[in-house]
Amino acid sequence: MQVRINGETQQVDEGITLAGLIADLDLANRRIAVEINQTIVPRTRHAETPIRENDNIEIIHAIGGG
């Protein structure tokens, strides 16, 4: 199925969860924030949040510095 990730259309597996998508993108164990259709999804809900056709997903990386 097709979704938009950070503005780019991508194919993902049917039935994938947000946690599965994050793992597929090699972003597991990184400091990220995720928004689906303009709603922030807490990390505690990634495993139970399904990805649906045409979802608009924004993934933001936390970057430290000073």
Q: What is the pTM of this model?
A: 0.90
Sign (positive/negative) of CA torsion 2, 26, 51, 31?
Answer: negative
Q: How confident is the model over 35-45, as pLDDT tens digits?
A: 999 999 999 99
All domains in the chain, ordered by first residue: 2-58 (3.10.20.30)
User: What dihedral do alpha carbons 60, 28, 50, 34 form, nearest 10°?
Assistant: -10
Element (DSSP H or E) covering residue 19: helix 18-24
Confidence band (pLDDT; 50, 70, 90) for 66? low
Does the structure show a pLDDT above 90 at 2? yes
Beta carbons of 59 and 34 less than 8 angstroms apart: yes
